[in-house]
């Protein structure tokens, strides 16, 4: 299906958009913007401006961009004009756990949700505080304490729809190890989490959609652009109301947005502006869809499949728990003695490090846990340190590395 091309003689007619967005973004002069950002002396490798800029911006209005470089907590406000003006509005230097985060504006407040980095994940909801010029965590009531990773999320209306992965179920035979998932929503009025259902999956593929190399968000839709060879673009559209990801040949041979060219949505109309200012448009409802995937139905199908085995697994679980309980009661004194001997042995090794700082790796060797997997090491380290501190013979204190604040050390003191 060929696109119906519409040349707008008077572009301001689109100013009736309910969000006040003119429907014709001003030219984004990336060269001048980049020059001003460089003046702040930030690490160019962390910013990755050329690759990530267009998937790290939000339109505050038709003439103002919010730029949060992917993987950092740096924040810039960019005023678009003949010569753009760039202002760094954040103080924080931290980076690490917010690659692939979702950023959005709700009631004039900027939020960052989820993310990953440094072999860890974040499931926190952060908001930017303009007074302190920093990011603060927004506490969410009833939020799962064992949440491990935000697998997929999108904001629709006053709610964040979110698929979480949990620490609570671990399977050595699974591709993704942690096999428990739950789907729910975060209410942005009262910041309360409500779980809709949960399921288990040994393979995490197909549970999320890619946010591509360019993203533009409206109230109803996410427009996701994927860069092809020769700077061309492939478009996907996610319907936040229905949960449908629509794949189409829309604008497939057009240029990837570079500031002079741009792709955006106003209500249900997708617009493409070329570098001559000519605008083409098409209604999403008239698109020729080559492929459609509904994520809400996909998650629900996982839930139904699990239910078929619920009664069978429940009976087996009760039997196993009963046998395990009696075996554990017999072994309990022996286990406690073994634990006490282990703690005493570790305390003996730590004596020569009293009033000294040691690295995390050195501590793991002393705790005899360095041979385990990354996640097991974290859990074992936390458990053993807590046991030692509770005995009040020695204290193990976690402190920032004095030379590199990104890392931690451990100080051993005698009580």
Residues sharing a CB contact under 8 Å with residue 397, sequence separation 6 or more, in sequence order: 410, 411, 413
pTM above threshold 0.75: no
- Rounded to the nearest angstrom, the gap between the alpha carbon of residue 36 and the centroid of all alpha carbons in its chain is 28
pLDDT surpasses 60 at 298: yes
Highest mean pLDDT: which of 22-26, 202-206, 264-268? 264-268
Q: What is the mean pLDDT of residues 43-56?
A: 87
- State how far the Cα of 52 lies from the Cα of 70, in Å rounded to an integer: 7
Q: Which of 93, 108, 112, 110 is nearest to 150 (CA)?
A: 112
- Please check whether residue 41 is in contact with residue 32, taking contact to mean a CB–CB distance below 8 angstroms: no
Of the ranges 25-29, 96-100, 239-243, the best mean pLDDT one: 239-243
Residues 6+ apart with CB under 8 A from 185: 159, 160, 161, 162, 193, 194, 196
Highest mean pLDDT among 145-159, 261-275, 321-335: 145-159
Residue 3: what pLDDT?
36
* CA–CA gap between residue 294 and residue 287 (Å, rounded): 17
According to the model, what pLDDT value does residue 18 have? 33
Instruction: Give the DSSP letter of residue 176.
Output: S
Catalogue all structural domains in the chain, each as residue range(s) with its CATH number: 11-306 (no CATH), 341-414 (1.10.10)
High-pLDDT (> 70) share of the chain, %: 84
Residue 305 pLDDT greater than 90, yes or no: no
| Mean pLDDT score, 186-206 | 93
Q: What is residue 198's predicted lDDT score, i.e. its pLDDT?
A: 94
Give, in order, the Cα–Cα distances in Å from 50 to each of 103, 122, 257, 308: 19, 25, 12, 50
Nearest to 63 by CA among 28, 30, 89: 28
Quick one: pLDDT at residue 277?
A: 80
How large is the average pLDDT for residues 357-368? 87
- Tell me the per-residue pLDDT of 206-246, one tens digit each, with 9 for 90 and over: 999 999 899 999 999 999 998 887 678 889 999 999 999 99
User: What per-residue confidence (pLDDT) applies to 345?
Assistant: 84
What's the mean pLDDT when you consider all of the chain? 83
> Which pair of structure tokens corresponds to residue 191?
């910041």
- Rounded to whole angstroms, how far apart are CA atoms 118 and 131? 29
For the cut 60, the answer to whether the pLDDT of residue 199 exceeds it is: yes
Our CA angle for 410, 411, 412, nearest 5°, is: 120
Residue 155 clears pLDDT 90, i.e. is over it? yes
pLDDT at 374 over 60: yes
- Which of the four pLDDT bands, split at 50, 70 and 90, describes residue 359? confident
Tokens of 404: 């590199």
Flag whether pLDDT at 130 surpasses 70: yes
């Amino acid at each position: 299906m060929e696109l119906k091309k519409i040349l707008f003689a008077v572009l301001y007619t689109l100013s009736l958009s309910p969000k006040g967005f003119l429907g014709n973004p001003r030219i984004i002069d990336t060269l001048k913007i980049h020059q001003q950002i460089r003046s702040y002396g930030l690490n160019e490798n962390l910013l990755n401006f050329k690759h990530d800029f267009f998937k790290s911006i939000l339109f505050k209005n038709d003439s103002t961009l919010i730029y949060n470089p992917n993987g950092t907590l740096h924040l810039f406000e960019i005023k678009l004009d003949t010569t753009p003006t760039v202002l760094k509005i954040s103080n924080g230097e931290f980076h690490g756990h917010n690659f692939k985060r979702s950023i959005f504006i709700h009631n004039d407040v900027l939020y960052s949700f989820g993310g990953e980095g440094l072999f860890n994940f974040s499931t926190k909801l952060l908001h930017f505080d303009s007074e302190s010029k920093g990011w603060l965590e927004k506490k969410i009531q009833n939020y799962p304490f064992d949440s491990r990773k935000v697998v997929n999320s999108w904001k629709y209306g006053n709610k964040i729809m979110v698929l979480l992965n949990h620490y609570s179920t671990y399977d050595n035979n699974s591709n993704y190890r942690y096999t428990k998932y739950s789907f729910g929503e975060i209410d942005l009025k009262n910041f309360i989490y409500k779980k809709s259902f949960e399921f288990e999956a040994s393979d995490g593929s197909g549970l999320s959609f890619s946010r591509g190399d360019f993203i533009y968000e409206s109230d109803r839709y996410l427009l996701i652009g994927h860069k092809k060879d020769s700077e061309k673009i492939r478009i996907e559209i996610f319907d936040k109301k229905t949960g449908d990801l629509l794949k189409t040949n829309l604008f497939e041979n057009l240029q990837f947005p570079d500031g002079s060219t741009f792709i955006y949505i106003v209500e249900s109309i997708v617009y493409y502006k070329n570098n001559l200012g000519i605008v083409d448009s098409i209604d999403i409802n008239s698109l020729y869809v080559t492929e459609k995937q509904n994520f809400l139905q996909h998650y629900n199908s996982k839930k139904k499949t699990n239910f078929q085995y619920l009664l069978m697994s429940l009976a087996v679980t009760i039997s196993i728990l009963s046998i395990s309980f009696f075996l554990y009661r017999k072994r309990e004194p022996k286990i406690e003695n073994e634990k006490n001997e282990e703690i005493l042995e570790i305390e003996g090794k730590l004596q020569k490090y009293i009033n000294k700082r040691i690295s995390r790796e050195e501590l793991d060797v002393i705790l005899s846990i360095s041979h385990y997997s990354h996640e097991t090491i974290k859990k074992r380290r936390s458990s053993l340190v807590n046991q030692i501190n509770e005995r009040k013979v020695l204290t193990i204190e976690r402190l920032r590395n004095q030379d590199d604040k990104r890392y931690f050390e451990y100080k051993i003191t005698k009580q």
